[in-house]
Amino acid sequence: MVPVGEYLSSVYEPEMDFVDGELENRNVGEKDHSKLQARLIKLLPDGFAVFPEVRIQVSPTRFRVPDVCVYLAEPEEQVFTSAPFVVIEILSPEDRMSRMQRKIEDYWRMGCPNVWILDPWRRKAYRYDGNAMIEALEALTTDDSRLRLGLNAIFPEGR
């Protein structure tokens, strides 16, 4: 068991999630994962506050580090406690859906209205609606249509 204060004062390479006193590895580091993360950041239009791999406190005993999170305005704190407008998780080959489901449920419970999951190997994208992951067929769109990313831009031919 790791105390919250120790987690917050430590630096992990790569960054780790903190769930009820336990550290959870995040599957990152593959080229395709990194390229997709960089592409997403470039695709997001000006006017949004975009952060890759930043700690978000989703509950008093849980901190998650999404691949990309989007805010309508930049939060003041160093470790974010307010819900992002969009959270984007990029799957790695080693990711288990049960673990990813817990992560996306944490984002949803904290009040994030738009949770997107991308699978770069299958070239598929999903949005979470609070009950299930729904495959996006042409684009990922926020619940209020402020943000739309076409799948052709997210997954261009030839990667």
Residues 39-65 have pLDDT tens digits of 999 999 999 999 999 999 999 999 999
* CATH-assigned architecture of domain 27-154: Alpha-Beta Complex (3.90)
Is the CB of residue 56 less than 8 Å from the CB of residue 111? Answer: no
- pLDDT, one tens digit per residue, over 83-98 is 999 999 998 877 667 7
pLDDT > 50? residue 159 = no
| Arithmetic mean of pLDDT, 116-131 | 93
Q: How wide is the angle at C-alpha 51 spanned by C-alphas 86 and 7, nearest 5°? A: 105
In which band, very low, low, confident or very high, does the pLDDT at 131 lie, cut at 50, 70 and 90? very high
For the cut 70, the answer to whether the pLDDT of residue 14 exceeds it is: yes
pLDDT value of residue 29: 64
What is the pTM (predicted TM-score) of this model?
A: 0.91
Residue 72 pLDDT > 70: yes
The residue to which tokens 């204060």 are assigned: 5
**Domain segments of the chain as ranges:** 27-154
Confidence of residue 21 (pLDDT cuts 50, 70, 90): very high
| Predicted local distance difference test score (pLDDT) of residue 34 | 87
Mean pLDDT (whole number) for 151-156: 95
Cβ count within 10 A of residue 47: 9
Preceding omega of 66 cis (within 30 degrees of 0): no
Q: Which of 26-35, 69-78, 149-158 has the lowest mean pLDDT?
A: 26-35
Place 139 in a pLDDT band, splitting at 50, 70 and 90.
Answer: very high
